[in-house]
Amino acid sequence: MKKRIGVLLSGRGSNFEALAESVAAGRIPNAEIAVVISNREGAPGIQRAESRGIKTRVIPSKGLEREVYDRQVAAVLDEHKADLICLAGYMRLLSPFFVAKFPNRILNIHPSLLPSFPGLESQRQALEYGVKFAGCTVHFVDENLDAGPIVIQAVVAVEDQDTEESLSARILKEEHRVYSQAVKIVLEEKYKMVGRRVLLTN
């Protein structure tokens, strides 16, 4: 049976698209994207999913208490029998309820070398801090912001002439590459957890 991926997003959806491409190309074998859920109406990621013929659902989060909202999302993921949940530019903190319901089954991609620069505008934070290396992180999700055990990171050198846009673009390219790798590792259970460390196995 194919493993079923549920994607949560809030906006552009380029990481979703990279995952969908990897599934289609067999780089994430034996898997399918079961549903794409957005908390924002009009998220371009939803149109991208629709044009690929993938099931979508918009569940507006505005005004809802965190757990009340997360229960609605969890119900849709259950309905689509999601084995793994991939956050792809999903700009919401998850409730303890949601995290406990899907233990070690939620991944996030973040555009920094965590634990540096969590939160918003990470690429700008990195430039302003003056780091020489930036990058991205795929990690398991816990109820803290951009925390949780790290599966893969990719490093991008910061150039003197970089702007937020140019650095973000180079990081995004790496995001698209490593997210698929991490999803494959997790779906194939080719890792073991030792404390916070995610060690790769064969």
- Which residues belong to the active site? 110
- Candidates 73, 110, 148, 198; binder of ligand GAR (CB under 6 A) is 110
- Candidates 34, 82, 89, 162; binder of ligand GAR (CB under 6 A) is 89
Cα dist. 158→112, 132, 188 in Å? 12, 5, 33
Which range binds ligand GAR by CB under 6 A, 8-16, 26-34, 64-72, 93-101?
Answer: 8-16
Question: Are the CB atoms for 186 and 28 separated by under 8 Å?
Answer: no
- Site for ligand GAR contains 139 (CB under 6 A): no
Cα dist. 94→32, 66, 100, 184 in Å? 24, 7, 10, 23
Please provide the size of the chain in residues: 202
- Site for ligand GAR contains 109 (CB under 6 A): yes
Q: How many residues bind ligand GAR (CB under 6 A)?
A: 15
- Site for ligand GAR contains 135 (CB under 6 A): no
Provide the 8-state DSSP code for 160.
T
CA neighbor of 8 nearest in space, from 98, 128, 115: 98
Nearer to ligand GAR, 66 or 192 (CB): 66
Q: Which residues bind ligand GAR (CB under 6 A)?
A: 9, 11-15, 45, 88-89, 109-111, 146, 172, 175
